[in-house]
Chains A and B, each alone.
Chain A
Amino acid sequence: MHLVGLLPIWAVVVAAVVGLIRFRRLAQPLRYLALLVGFDALVELAVLALRVLLPTLPNLFLFPLIALGEVALLALAYRAALQSATFSRLMPWVVGAFGLYALVGAWVAFHRVHYPAAIQITADLLQFCLAALYFWKLLRELRVEHLHQDPFFWVSVGLVAFVLGDLFIMLFSNYLLAHYSVGLQRLVLLMVRPCFLLILYCCYGLALWMHPPKANSLSS
């Protein structure tokens, strides 16, 4: 496997170790983020193991389930970070609906081997909405004086970078799989996409590593 493909795995494992070490001292939103990073680390390691040990076993049906886990944990983290009653009320419904869609997608992918890009695109859009909501909260409440010291700012920046890159790849993924060589498919899915994953995991790791200052009360 190419080095670029391995870098995100290292990054997420390091971020997971940071999250594990600092878990007790983390605030509630970051604890959910640490859980998400741990989940991602396990998934990356499991996918790597499957790819090495059982390369012929179809694993595409796992992708909707992974997307569901990521969206659910990220939604929990953002619910704790946003502290919005409306978001808390709507979140279970949105995640529930997405969960249903992902489960159906997984079932379909298990029976008809195909890449469930639509589910990943939906997951990307939901994640982008979470990041956008956080940016909106930052602008509305003005509680954070220095954005670079705010862990969830970095989480949101990482999400924006990953989601926009991933979205474009996912939009063309089935077209790529249908019309182009395995070499190009590998180049895009195993080298270009991991670059965005690397950015995302680095941002997660940074957020878990940071010691955020106490929020001041500029808006109060």
Chain B
Amino acid sequence: MDAPAESEFFKLLIIGIGLLLLVGGALVLFVVTYQKRLLQQQLRLREAEAEYQQQLLAAIIEAQEHERERIGRDLHDGIGATLATTRLLMGRLETNSQATANAEESGLFGMVNELMGSAVHDVRSISHSLFPAVLARYGLAEALQHLVDVSNETGALYVELEVDYPQPLALAQELALYRICQELIHNALKHAKGATRLDVLLRQRGPVLTLVVEDDGCGLPPAHTTDGAALIKGAGLRSIDVRVQMLQARLRQESEPGQGLRTFVELQSPA
């Protein structure tokens, strides 16, 4: 067979190359579009997973809070009321037998009264700690004030509260923030050795709500300072982390050894 003319061959060659390049272009286009589609699918899957996790977390915390509320109410209305009544009856019994009682019996009455009083106080404080009725009734600012007052009553550390909170959050969010603050104050009282004061600040600046808990104690060793993710250690800190996740907030800690610990929780509040 004769070879085609030069111009014919060149034309065929160019057409052949062009077709192969079209195939190559189609391959690259396929890779680009298919990869983009796969990425979008994966992103959607991750979003759905994250949403599910968030819902699960919220449901767990809600169930936990309901259970706490139930136990707190049972304690307050059941055992608390019984103890208070018993204390009143003991008071009456003491008054009635005042004339006939000897010194030993009077002493015993006094001791029983004191123990009953202490038991009533304990039940009430456990009940309040399990479910802060003040929060449901008056909101986060009042609940924090109550928390600070109760902490000051222990006399372990002077706690000061500063609140600038004009736009209240939903109750579930306020409760989560309250729990975080409760845990942070508890941690400071327990671990901030050498601390003389504890400052709690709740501040709203535009859409950002910030809770700051700061002590002037021994601080954390450098390895423990974190911006959130690796904080998890004990049950208390785990519970903080879970609530921070639920609030979709950001947890940050600043500390130097001997310079105290500053914990920030920042969240976007609805405008």
The residues of A with any CB-CB pair to B shorter than 8 Å are 135, 138-139, 142, 144-145, 147, 157, 160-161, 163-165, 167-169, 172, 175-176, 179-181, 184, 187-188, 192, 218-219
Contact = CB atoms under 8 A, between A and B. Distances in A.
B63 interface: no
Contacts of A176: 9, 13
Interface of B: 3, 6, 9-10, 13-14, 16-17, 20-21, 23-24, 27-28, 31-32, 34-35, 38-39, 42-43, 46
Contact of A147 (B3, B21, B23, B35): B35
Contacts of B39: 142, 145, 218
B24 A161 contact: yes
Contacts of B28: 135, 157, 160
B13 A188 contact: yes
B3 A164 contact: no
5 contacts: A135-B27, A161-B24, A164-B21, A181-B6, A192-B13
Nearest to A183: B6
A168 B17 contact: yes
A160 B24 contact: yes
Given A145-B39, A180-B3, 6 more contacts: A135-B31, A138-B31, A138-B35, A142-B38, A163-B24, A176-B9
Contact of B27 (A160, A179, A192): A160
A161 B21 contact: yes
Contacts of A147: 31-32, 35
A30 to B, nearest CB: 20
Contacts of B23: 164
A169 B16 CA distance: 9
A172 B13 contact: yes
Top 10 A-B pairs ranked by shortest CB distance? A164-B20, A179-B3, A164-B24, A160-B24, A135-B31, A168-B17, A168-B16, A184-B6, A165-B17, A168-B20
A215 B6 CA distance: 51
Contact of B6 (A142, A169, A180): A180
Contacts of A188: 10, 13
A180 B9 CA distance: 9
B156 to A, nearest CB: 44
A218 B34 CA distance: 16
Given A161-B21, A165-B20, A168-B20, A139 B38 contact: yes
